[in-house]
Structure 1
Amino acid sequence: MTMNESRLQYPAPVAIEHPELLAYRSEFPILQRKTYLNSCSLGALSNRSMQGLAQFMETWNEWGAHAWYEIWMGEIAKARQKFATIIGAQLHEVAILFEREVDDKTVLVATSRVFYTSGYIQDVRSVADIAHKHGAYMLVDDYQGTGQIPINVNAVDVDFLVTGTLKWLMGGPGLAFVYIREGLISQLQPIIAGWFGHREQFQFKTREFDFRPEATRVEMGTPAVAAIYAANGGLDIVQEISVEQICERTRYLTNDLIAQAREHGWKVRAPLEPEQRSSIVMLEIEHPEEVVKALVARNIISDSRPGLLRVSPYFYNSIEENALVIDAIAEIIESRK
């Protein structure tokens, strides 16, 4: 057993083609029109999420405010449960560095599991061990990890994890989740409160505020219900496939993309060790923002950061699309010489 296997409590990710996942392409209409390689910014919209949004509009029209009691609260609970399952947490735990830098005065260590400028997957368990050794809490920003890279919050021993649905969970913007370790929930006294954090939220007690006993005590005002309907569609797909298979498929695509880029002599900003790579591939190319625009003209969607072209294949992409984007980039670069 490797260090990663023993510490993270799931097998070290491997690259597996999983061609059967290509069947999911039909779930995403944009893939019929464009080569979509920017899931690290915004996951592709699925038919399920569109159907969810339509269902939200229907219930709003049919029931008005009564939909809160009969329907919408149930949808919110479903989203919490699906997210909890994906990160290995219990439902009641979910609400919508270097050692020299951490000492006994440190209260909280906050870091990302996946870095958006390199795709590097950090060993957050090691950072958590450092934080806890000095009596500090550990918070992980997992927006770039949840959905594409497996995690078990208990195995990595984090105290808090925050993430959202707009990227690899394919739920669009407007919904965020926070995980709070069970033993800490009752100790947290929010300094800002909202009616969704009240133990009896529909009693509207104005003279007293009794926080919920679960992680939902940190929730604030009325949530964006439309976003929850959209998110449930994306969460369903992730659960249906499993994050493990998604990771294997995207690693297969990422390794191929990196190999093709290096054949062209381009400098790739990515971890040397395959097991430390996520599905974010950064190419050091001159004027990347102009290349992104030129790719859009070819119906290829990518992204850029200063000095870098960012390409992020997901399970619904194909090897053929990798070749398409690499050839297009090469042609664009050649045309500017």
Structure 2
Amino acid sequence: MGAAAHGREEFPPRLSARDAFPGIRPGYLNSGSVHPVSAGARQRVADYLASRAMGGESDYDIAAARRTVMERFARLINADTGELAYIQSTSAGEQMAVAALGLPEPGARVVTDALHFFGSFHLYSELEKAGVEVVVVRPHDNRIQLEDMAAAIDDRTRLVSVSAIATTNGFQHDLAALADIAHAHGAKLFVDAIHAIGSVPFDVKAAGIDMMSTASYKWLMGDMGLGFMYARADLIPELARPQAGYFQLAGISSHVFPYEEPHERAYQTRARDDATGLFAMGTYSNTGVAHLDYSLDFLLELGVENIQARRQPLIERVREEFTARGFQPLTPEDSTGPLIAFAFENARARLGPKLRDAGVEISLSQHRFRISPSVFNTMDDIEMLLEALA
């Protein structure tokens, strides 16, 4: 077979994806859980940490990096920087989206689905306790049917909350169609985009998304502790501030100390009128910013479309082989995301030892397993997996 048939298409030599991750062990197929850190990102973090030593050996400018990382992320998702804020995590963003809409509110309705991030169901269980009606749409044929979502969304619905790509099985919503349905009833669409941004082309404006959050340690090839919150510019004035924090400030005036102008108030504060003024809190991870200072350039230069095209033959090989072996596929065949999953009874107990012995790492659940290749993987890694579970 030729190179393309083996899924070995290469990026331009100066952007060799395998070389960007020196030392990555063969058989690592679990980037959907935690993405490895590239050599370039490690060096950028080292430059930042050297600057924090205050010894003068590094002139790395973290303030400039904060600004340009936000600009590059905005370009990646077709947003304006004023629509974005740094946050701690995807889940933190989802909680802020809920609060920004004034929830919980007794009698209000929230619609989500059973393929949404499982950690979010605790949030919605708490909303139910506070009097919110929460509807969880169940999947059919491993996907959430658009007509089922449409049937669940009514004029009392305040929020529709979904994952762009389901962490459990890689199902992808038609976000633009879902947004149209939500908006027709006056509801807002929140999207957990952690498995989408960096792995598939993602355009917040084309998708009609109202609010979105993500984190950087998966397909943005960054680290934990740093994420992004998006809110549509024309929606921002309608939203309530979920919490108040230092980084929201546009200005603060003191009237306490010598030489300051006297005033009846000790301090006066003024918030920014953008997403940062709404959602930002206190100090966030500068090492996370330094990671992204390299990784976002890496992603933008490789091109998300190229990443997706190179990955797809690997996923299709897994689908074909494991389906032929009798494993029950959970991922829809038209999925173009970075995940493929199968149902298998007692998967963790029965498959875990075989994979450990072979040096292969995938995501194992009680009765499911998931493979998530990235830019550094080749068909050799897939063959290791197939042999380990032969």
Work out whether 1:85 is the aligned partner of 2:75: yes
Deviation at 1:241, TM superposition (A): 0.7
Q: Which amino acid aligns with 1:161?
A: M
Structure 1 gaps of 5+ residues are 1-14, 331-337
C-alpha contact (below 8 Å) 1:292/1:302 kept by paired residues: no
Conserved? CA contact 1:175–1:231, under 8 Å? no
Letter paired with 1:90? D
Q: Deviations over 1:232-266 (max 9, x none)?
A: 22222111111111111122221121112123222
Q: Do 2:84 and 2:230's aligned partners in 1 also have CA atoms closer than 8 Å?
A: yes
What amino acid is aligned across from residue 64 of structure 2 in structure 1? G
- Of 286, 290, 295, the residue aligned with 1:234 is 295
Q: Distance in 1 between matches of 2:83 and 2:28?
A: 34
* Of 63, 79, 82, the match for 1:73: 63
- The answer (yes or no) to whether the contact 1:171–1:232 under 8 Å persists in 2 is no
1:197-216 equivalence runs, <5 A? 197-200=248-251, 207-216=267-276
Q: How many residues were matched structurally?
A: 308
SS at match of 1:324: helix
Equivalents in 2 of 1:182, 1:292: separation in Å? 47
**2:236 is equivalent to residue 185 of structure 1:** yes
Question: Which secondary structure does the structure 1 equivalent of 2:308 belong to?
Answer: helix
Which segment is superposed worse, 45-54 or 17-26? 17-26
Q: Tell me which residue corresponds to 2:348.
A: 289
Q: Tell me which amino acid in the other structure corresponds to 1:242.
A: G
Deviations 1:64-119 (A, max 9, x none): 9xx9xx92221111221121111111122111161122111111111111011111
Following the alignment from structure 2 to structure 1, what is the Cα–Cα distance between the partners of residues 242 and 364? 38
Q: C-alpha separation between the residues in 2 aligned to 1:27 and 1:300?
A: 20
What CA deviation, in whole Å up to 9, does each residue of 1:153-185 have, x standing for no partner?
A: 111111111111111111021111011111122
2:35 corresponds to 1:48: no
SS of residue matched to 2:382: helix
Q: Which residue of 2 aligns with 1:268?
A: 329
Match of 2:154 among 103, 111, 118: 103
Amino acid at match of 1:255: E
How does 1:1-337 map onto structure 2 within 5 Å? Answer: 17=7, 19-21=9-11, 23-31=16-24, 33-62=25-54, 71-96=61-86, 98-200=149-251, 207-217=267-277, 218-272=279-333, 274=334, 276-290=335-349, 291-330=351-390
- Tell me, what secondary structure is at the counterpart of 1:257? helix
Say which SS state the counterpart of residue 389 (structure 2) adopts: helix
Q: Secondary structure at the match of 1:62?
A: coil
Structure with the higher helix share, 1 or 2: 1
Amino acid at match of 1:35: G
RMSD of the TM alignment (CA)? 2.3
Shift of residue 60 of structure 1?
A: 0.7
Secondary structure of 2:387's match? helix
How far apart, CA to CA, are the structure 2 residues paired with 1:72 and 1:279?
Answer: 31
Q: Is the 8 A contact 2:27 2:361 kept in 1?
A: yes
**Which deviates further from its counterpart, 50-59 or 295-304?**
295-304
Distance in 1 (CA, whole Å) between partners of 2:250 and 2:181 is 35
In structure 2, distance between residues paired with 1:204 and 1:36? 54
TM-score, normalised on structure 1?
0.85
Report the 3-state secondary structure (helix = DSSP H, G, I; strand = E; otherwise coil) of the residue aligned with 1:26: coil
- TM-superposed CA distance for 1:16, in Å, is 10
Which protein shows a greater Rg?
2
Q: SS at 1:35's partner residue?
A: coil
- Structure 2: gaps (5+ residues): 87-136, 138-148, 256-265
Q: Is the 8 A contact 2:251 2:269 kept in 1?
A: no
For 1:297 and 1:169, locate their aligned partners in 2 and report how far apart those are by CA, in whole Å. Answer: 30
- 2 CA distance for matches of 1:57 and 1:267? 47
Q: Distance in 2 between matches of 1:104 and 1:211?
A: 33
> What amino acid is aligned across from residue 209 of structure 1 in structure 2?
T
1:160 and 1:62 map into 2 onto residues whose CA distance is 39
